[in-house]
Amino acid sequence: MNILIIGTGYVGTTTGLVFCEMGHKVTGLDLDHSKLESLRAGKLHFYEPGLEDLLRKHLHGENITFTPEYEKAIKENDVIFICVGTPQLHDGNADLSYVKNAAESIGENLDSYKVIVSKSTVPVGTSEMIQQWIKAKLKGEFTFDVVSNPEFLREGSALKDALKPDRIVIGTSSQKANGIMKNLYKNFICEIVETTPNTSEMIKYAANSFLALKISYINELARLCDVLDIKIKDISRGIGLDHRIGLNFLNAGIGFGGSCFPKDVNALIKTSKDKQVNLSILERALEVNKTQTDFFYQQIRNSIGNLNGKTIVIAGLAFKSNTDDIRQSPSFALIENLLKDKAIVHVHDPVVKLERPELKQFNTVEEAAYQADALIICTEWDVYQQLNWMKIKTLMRQPYIFDGRNILDKEIIKNLGFYYKGVSQ
């Protein structure tokens, strides 16, 4: 099949390349010429492990091409995926302007039956709106169907998640479109949930909100365990082995971030408010998330005292490992607190490069730790587990480690002579 992907961000690019792997021909469309140039040259404009190799493979095999031109791209493709961003508006709603632009451009250029697939995370009812936006721009009596087919890709493991999804959700009221979608996904080995567009859109929000809830639950529980001198990791394992609970998404830390969880939970809360339904459990999950970083910061302050003039290392800027995404990263909440308390902030991240003159960025943790009074691990990068901590101790002015992701072995680190504090460990 010939597939058009509108939007070449991490979702669009990953989805397109995975369809190439499944034997389809893919066109990636984006209005940003610098992104197109980079993709055509086999370079990703974002960091995602494994994806660049796949991009080069399929460029070489001529399975994927990139274009800014709607007209030709729509004519030449059978299935059109909308994979544009839906950032959060001030009122908590998702901004649908990019989706609307894409839908209108599809309408203006439609010349035969196509399946239009909404992969972007959009509020319930958006598929219906996409239908209207396309219809309003049609230049003839052309037919089309709209399908909701949300993605569940995690940044950092997007390729793995896309190649081996837990499930595929297809939301459409058209049997014809449903058949085309099932055919498109026929080489994937997983359950397919066939449902309505509204249910499909809700599944995406419900999934992300549930995961966010799970993290906030374990984070709040960690605060109690800390007082009771119980290791939260033992609790996560002890409860997670119960299949009804599951081991995933029970890592306590300094809070969730990224482009999805905070935005999607907010959007679902906004929908519930608009419909006069109380989703207080999600409001609480966001509140716990916000205060989790403050809670950890307070523990740092309690341990070191006055931070004025102290040199503090922030190890990890990305909102999680294996990505260069810093959106809603808890590292920055900590950085703002440190700056307010007049600390000197040294930062390190294996992939993120910042342009902030008030922060000193270093290429290695060792350099960042030189004459530092404390080091805070904010991102669970593997490289931080493999550091020569003995050497780092000799470099630091004061050997304080605050492990906001619980990635280090407390006993080993303490035996090296560090003061160590994790999140309830």
- List the catalytic residues: 260
Q: Residue 160 corresponds to which tokens in the numbers above?
A: 């793995």
Min. distance of Cβ 181 from ligand UDX in angstroms?
18
Alpha-carbon distance of 174 to 178, in angstroms, equals 6
Residue number with the shortest CB distance to ligand UDX? 260
- How many residues touch ligand UDX (CB under 6 A)? 19
Asked whether the beta carbons of 364 and 298 are under 8 A apart, the reply is: no
Q: Is residue 153 marked as binding?
A: yes
CA 253, 254, 256, 258 torsion: positive or negative? negative
297: number of Cβ within 10 Å: 22
Alpha-carbon distance of 269 to 349, in angstroms, equals 33
The burial of 227, by beta-carbon neighbours within 10 Å (0-12 exposed, 13-18 middle, 19 or more buried), is given as exposed
CB closer to ligand UDX out of 151 and 403: 151
Asked whether the beta carbons of 249 and 215 are under 8 A apart, the reply is: yes
Residues 289-348 that bind ligand UDX (CB under 6 A): 319-320
Amino acid (one-letter) located at 225: C
Judged by CB under 6 A, which stretch of 28-36, 104-112, 148-156, 340-348 contacts ligand UDX?
Answer: 148-156
Min. distance of Cβ 180 from ligand UDX in angstroms?
23
CB closer to ligand UDX out of 19 and 133: 19
CB closer to ligand UDX out of 110 and 250: 250
* Residue 201 backbone zone (phi > 0: left; psi -120 to 50: alpha; other: beta): alpha
Under the binding rule (CB under 6 A), the answer on residue 420 touching ligand UDX is no
Among 260, 265, 285, 372, binds ligand UDX (CB under 6 A): 260
User: Which residues make Cβ contacts (< 8 Å) with residue 210, sequence separation at least 6?
Assistant: none
Among 133, 144, 152, 402, binds ligand UDX (CB under 6 A): 152
Residues 199-258 that bind ligand UDX (CB under 6 A): 208, 211, 215, 249-251, 253, 256-258
Q: Is residue 19 marked as binding?
A: no
Amino acid (one-letter) located at 310: K
Exposure string of 63-85, with b = 16+ CB inside 10 Å and e = fewer, is bbbbbeebeebbeebbbbbbbbb
CB closer to ligand UDX out of 230 and 416: 230
CB closer to ligand UDX out of 208 and 424: 208
Residues 155-184 that bind ligand UDX (CB under 6 A): 155
Q: Is residue 306 marked as binding?
A: no
Please enumerate, by residue number, every residue annotated as part of a binding site for substrate: 152-155, 204, 249-253, 257, 320
The residues binding ligand UDX (CB under 6 A) are 151-155, 208, 211, 215, 249-251, 253, 256-258, 260-261, 319-320
